[in-house]
Amino acid sequence: MQFHVDGELVDAAAATLPVDDRGVTFGDAVTEPVRVASGTPVAWRAHVDRLLDACDALGATPTVDPADLRARVDETIAANDLDDALVRMTVTRGRGGDTSVLPDAARLRPPAEFDPTVVVTADPLSPNRDPIRLQTVRTRAIPPTAVPAAAATHNRLDAVRAGAELRRAAPPDADPADEALVLDDAGHVVGGTASDPIFVADDAIRLPALGDHAPRTATRAVVLDIARSEDLPVAEGAYTPADVRAADEAFVAEPSAGVRPVARIDGIEVGDGPVTRLLAGLFDERYGSV
């Protein structure tokens, strides 16, 4: 495998960052996964816009534009001869700190002038659309007042803690749930650890109203656009896990499979239905079957 690191293709084993890169030391970086189907990035514009919006939120605008990023992604795909893959684009603020302040704070404060590091990695992908199991966790989503565009930054400790919580909660000799359902401090659903839950109830497609929280994926907006293009009723609101458990059908939007049905939430059977299957089919028509 070969990855793209700062404009150069290098062997994966040599694709490293300096230990003083701010993405390594402070999580001062943003990242965005994008599925590649038949050699082409799926919903490219939605993904690259999300990445660059996250860079702007952190004040770390990269020195590359969407065309340059697309070229690096295409080169990485071609170098690895991949038809189906999950590509991850990462931009760190680079190295250094503001040496004009006190030594203890110097490494933390971003430098006034910085040289972003841009990395593109790729992994072969066999998308899985088997129904998944969701479980509500105690871990709360990082508040957007603390970390802007939290889902797109390297600061994903809420997702890491949620995943660890799922493992601890699993019965002996049983697999943990596939994905956590993460809430905000008020107890309303924000998203999964790496997906966006969507459900159908009262004849409408329903999504959590995120406020200042960032969606977990760019795929959420893509699926929402498909639903609206078909004149399907869509509603956003403050939903609890109980609302999702009582749904007529539920699914998640995520980069690798697009639309994936939910089998159970907190042990309660939910399952897919005609709306889930319709949106999955329309997603495949637009972006290629998984």
pLDDT at 144 over 90: no
Residue 97 has a pLDDT of 66
Kindly report which listed range (23-37, 105-119, 199-213, 226-240) carries the lowest average pLDDT score: 105-119
Residue 151 has a pLDDT of 56
CATH superfamily of 132-287: D-amino Acid Aminotransferase, subunit A, domain 2 (3.20.10.10)
Residue 177 has a pLDDT of 93
Range(s) of the chain covered by CATH 3.30.470.10 = 2-124
pLDDT at 103 over 70: no
Range(s) of the chain covered by CATH 3.20.10.10 = 132-287
- Give pTM, 2 decimals: 0.86
Architecture per CATH, 2-124: 2-Layer Sandwich (3.30)
Q: Residue 142's pLDDT band (boundaries 50, 70, 90)?
A: confident
CA distances from 185 to 154, 163, 194, 201 (A): 21, 18, 19, 24
Residue 41 has a pLDDT of 93
Residue 147 has a pLDDT of 72
pLDDT at 59 over 90: no
Instruction: Record the tokens describing residue 23, joined without a space.
Output: 């993405």
Residue 102 has a pLDDT of 53
Selection from 71, 88, 166, 168 nearest residue 122 by Cα: 88
